[in-house]
Structure 1
Amino acid sequence: MAVVELTSDPTGLYLKAALGLLPVPRRPEALPDREIARRGLIIDRDHLARYDRVCGFRLSDTLPATYVHVLAFPLAMTLMSASDFPFPVVGLVHVANRITVRRPVDATQRIDLLVRAENLRSHDRGRVFDVVATAFADDENVWTGVSTYLSKNAPKGDASAKRDHPPMPAPTALWKMPARVGSDYAEVSGDHNPIHTSRIGARLFGFPRPIAHGMWSKARALAALEGRLPAAYTVDVAFKQPILLPARVGFSAAARTDGWEFRLDSKRPHLAGLVTPP
């Protein structure tokens, strides 16, 4: 596998991604056999503090599990916006995310990141693949994230959003999500997808209003469990129906013998998550 080394965060990624929507003669059928790497990354404490505030974490030098995803995001975008990627990155749907924390990571440590794409497969609404990010500290694998993306081939307005859903569990907390959640998270995550920050951009992709980032929702849920999670764990989430901003959603969490189960719901399910041993 070829390795491309980055020495700084790339710029202009969403412009490059938008250009990927232009017609091309033929896209490759396979995922690129390439890994994007960035080594010796120094944590910006001010940036970490802003992220903590936006997502609801306590200010701490210990990196939240979802923060490393933000560090790896520019590498993932570099990979997915390349001309040899099978799908345009704009329009991909983030349907699931799994993070494994093998031990706490301190903000004083330098991080090495590696990102690759794998496991392209069929789905009842198109094709899905995984973007796998791995973080090392002191040459030890301390964190792994797997983001599953869907490239849809279903027509707009399909019936998936009209399904009947089972009754939602009684929430343990009600959260008010202002419209600025989309732009606030975009600023700290670097994910400036217009479906999260612009009413016009959201409408272009079939949403009446901007929608919350899925990874903000996951981070906010983990922040609600802060202080009750072990030092090492795996947290899986499935992203259900989008959260149209502004919104009020219910958060529910239940302890299990091996971890936690949690959800975000309103009239429809938005996120279902599970914390288990790594």
Structure 2
Amino acid sequence: MKARMLMTSRKVLVEEGIYHITQRAPGKEVIFVEETDYLRFLKLLKESSKKFSLDIFCFSLLSNHLHILLRTKQRNLDKAMKFLFQSYAQFFNKKYERKGHVFCGVYRASFCLDESYLIVASLYIHLNPYKAGLTKNIFEYKWFSLQPYIKPIKSSLLNVGFILDILDSDRGEARRIYKGLIQGSRLLNYENILENKRAIKTFYKEFTSWLKKGALKMFSKRKNPFYSYFELEKKIEEIKEGDLKLNSPESKEGIRYIIKQLKSRGYTIYEIANILRIGRTTLYRLVQN
């Protein structure tokens, strides 16, 4: 399954859409000068989430740019971002007695179309401070949302369950997996999305290649049989490549379980047949038996 992400000059606005938002300061200017600036922005982000019914999945705030991963429940992304960025710009200009633009034009929004891109986008966002050289220990940066993804910390701003539940039905296990993904993927090639719009697609390719080379061993201590998204993807690739045959009861049972997992995630029989490259007749026979 390929990651599907759409970034265009004309934003795709839907009622229930997931977006990776990026915004930056013009030139060599900064958005945040001191701690109270970061705190004010987070306060406004929380206000925006309540006012416009947004789910905030994760964020990363750096001195000259920022990332936010969120979900809308109405067709109101432009209004929400206008409120957020204009409110902060007014605060910033008043505080520092300055005039002019705080942000470099209109924000960018990448429309997320599937779970794999959602997970990779969250990893990309959380890796940003480390890759920018702002911290030697990725887990110690202050102005991002990683901690609730690796520790049982409650947050009134974030919805961490949506992404963690994709990785595992057990929340503790999901956090262990996410931490392992962060630790491993920090060594991958990482480009700046502000300079290259295809940066996350490149990162995704690096990431999936890393998984196929054995990174999935980190899932070996799982306490339940629920497939993580990436385990499921690996099994699907094995079926496509012919590594799992339909000539043994064990293989058939394994494929039935994969079909069940895909159905539970909303895929139709027709879509599952295409994903697994199995004829629909064969698929129906497997499901019925």
> TM-score under structure 1 normalisation?
0.30
User: Could you tell me the TM-score, scaled by structure 2's length?
Assistant: 0.29
Compare the two structures and name the one with the higher strand fraction: 1
